[in-house]
């Protein structure tokens, strides 16, 4: 009898140890996940890092975002862009990182024949999507439209000059992607191997999830977010995933939808068959530029540009009739 009790106790103990061991092993595999949200860049920023990470690294990453925002914001007084726009056509000395973003933006302007144009600053401020839901005065729109032309930007070493003193630069279509790239580089330099940098839906990924699988991202459904919030789910590692959409920052008047992606030729929202463009790219700045380009150029011409652009990995375009087009490697799982 004593022998049986002893055996049963040993079995119970072994089972308990096995259970605890499994649990312990699971926890050590998961490591620590830190998720920190902030309101920055006029959006909701979330840094998710897993592994062993010092609190100071996260704070320094947020400091870096704030620093870059203070250089590239169109509204922050004293920023590089604010000073260029207020320079009355005189050369303005700016940070090399601002020049890098301006140069990259000009490349997108060139390949889109000027549809993508960072000198549309006066137009974007007139519309002020996200904070305003009214059509601006027509005369003001025409005056603002006259100032748009990326060819007027000249860069000499660390100075930027706009030949039209009335023109304004707005880096809203490229800066967030660039900032995501800079934060990713900073985190990698500080030993972070797995992170998700979410700048209000512009996402840069380092490494993978805790379980070693790629990060899982959902793409918003542009049509019916109540009953079906996501149009697709993709798995991605070590890349940027950036979306642009005509349903974001938009409003409707008399059955016409006005959205924030503007056509410099008309000063109005671009007419396009692409409602949502999600681009997976090697860098955030490329992803951001290409996702906007896909909207501006439409599905046919946009696809051609995307497929041949260096750093492009894949894209999911959602058209106005609901069709979903996959280009390249998108890692779609749902």
Partner 1 sequence: MKSNKFWMILFGALLVVSGVATFLMIDMPQAVYAQIFIDGALVETINLSAVSETKDIVSHGEGRYVRIVAEPGRIAIVETNCYLQLCKRQGWRNSGVIPIVCLPNRVAIRFTSANLPDIDGVVG
Please tell me whether residue 37 binds partner 1 under the rule CB under 8 A: yes
Q: Report the nearest approach of partner 1 to the CB of residue 80 (Å).
A: 23
Among 10, 20, 230, 304, binds partner 1 (CB under 8 A): 230
Please tell me whether residue 67 binds partner 1 under the rule CB under 8 A: no
Distances (CA, A) of 64 to 137, 141, 180, 205: 38, 35, 10, 17
User: Smaller CB distance to partner 1: residue 171 or 217?
Assistant: 217
Total number of residues shown for the chain: 334
Helix, coil or strand: residue 160: strand
Please tell me whether residue 20 binds partner 1 under the rule CB under 8 A: no
Among 27, 146, 216, 307, binds partner 1 (CB under 8 A): 216
Stretch touching partner 1 by CB under 8 A, among 160-168, 198-206, 305-313, 324-332 = 198-206
Span 133-162, contacts to partner 1 by CB under 8 A? 133
Among 58, 206, 219, 239, binds partner 1 (CB under 8 A): 219
Stretch touching partner 1 by CB under 8 A, among 124-132, 145-153, 171-179, 305-313 = 124-132
Task: Give the H/E segment covering residue 315.
Answer: strand 312-319
Angle of the 96-111 helix axis to the 55-72 helix axis, nearest 10: 60
Q: Report the nearest approach of partner 1 to the CB of residue 251 (Å).
A: 8
Please tell me whether residue 215 binds partner 1 under the rule CB under 8 A: yes
Distances (CA, A) of 331 to 61, 202, 215, 247, 302: 28, 17, 10, 24, 20
Stretch touching partner 1 by CB under 8 A, among 118-126, 176-184, 241-249, 262-270 = 241-249
Contacts 24+ apart (CB under 8 A), 82-87: 84/160, 84/162, 84/169, 85/121, 85/162, 85/167, 85/168, 85/169, 87/161, 87/162, 87/165
Please tell me whether residue 174 binds partner 1 under the rule CB under 8 A: no
Which DSSP string do the residues of 12-74 spell out, in sequence order?
HHHHHHHHHHHHHHHHHHH-EEEEEEEEETTEEEEEEEEES--HHHHHHHHHHHHHHHHHH-S
Please tell me whether residue 278 binds partner 1 under the rule CB under 8 A: yes
Give the burial string for 206-231 (b: 16+ CB within 10 Å, else e).
bbbbeeeebbebebbbbeeeeeeeeb
Stretch touching partner 1 by CB under 8 A, among 112-120, 147-155, 240-248, 292-300 = 240-248
Stretch touching partner 1 by CB under 8 A, among 149-157, 170-178, 228-236, 257-265 = 228-236
Q: Which residues bind partner 1 (CB under 8 A)?
A: 4, 8, 36-39, 42-44, 46, 48, 130-133, 196, 198, 201-203, 209, 215-220, 222, 225, 229-231, 233, 241-243, 245, 248, 276, 278
């Amino acid at each position: 009898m004593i022998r049986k009790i002893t055996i049963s106790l040993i079995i119970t103990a072994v089972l308990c140890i096995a259970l605890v061991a499994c649990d312990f092993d699971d926890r050590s595999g998961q490591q620590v996940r830190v998720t920190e949200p902030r309101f920055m860049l006029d959006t909701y920023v979330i840094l998710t890092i897993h592994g062993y990470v010092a609190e100071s690294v996260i704070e320094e990453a947020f400091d870096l975002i704030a620093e870059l925002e203070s250089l590239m914001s169109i509204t922050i007084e004293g920023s590089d862009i604010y000073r260029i726009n207020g320079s009355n056509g005189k050369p303005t000395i700016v940070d090399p990182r601002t020049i890098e973003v301006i140069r990259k933006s000009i490349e997108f302007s060139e390949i889109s024949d000027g549809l993508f144009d960072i000198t549309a600053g006066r137009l974007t401020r007139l519309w002020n999507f996200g904070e305003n839901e009214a059509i601006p005065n027509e005369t003001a729109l025409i005056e603002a439209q006259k100032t748009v032309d990326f060819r007027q930007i000249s860069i000499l070493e660390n100075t930027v000059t706009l030949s039209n003193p009335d023109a304004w630069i707005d880096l809203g279509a490229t800066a967030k992607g660039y900032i995501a790239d800079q934060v990713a580089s900073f985190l990698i330099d500080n030993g972070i191997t797995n992170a998700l940098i979410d700048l209000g839906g512009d996402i840069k990924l380092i490494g993978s999830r805790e379980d070693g699988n790629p990060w899982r991202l959902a793409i918003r459904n542009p049509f019916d977010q109540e009953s079906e919030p996501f149009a697709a789910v993709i798995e991605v590692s070590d890349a940027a995933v950036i979306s642009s959409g005509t349903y974001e920052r938009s409003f409707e008047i008399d059955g016409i939808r006005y959205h924030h992606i503007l056509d410099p030729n008309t000063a109005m929202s671009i007419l396009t068959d692409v409602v949502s463009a999600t681009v997976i790219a090697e860098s955030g700045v490329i992803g951001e530029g290409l996702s906007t380009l896909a909207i501006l150029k439409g599905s046919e011409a946009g696809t051609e540009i995307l497929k041949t652009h260096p750093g492009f990995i894949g894209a999911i375009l959602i058209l106005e009739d609901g069709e979903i087009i996959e280009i390249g490697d998108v890692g779609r799982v749902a």
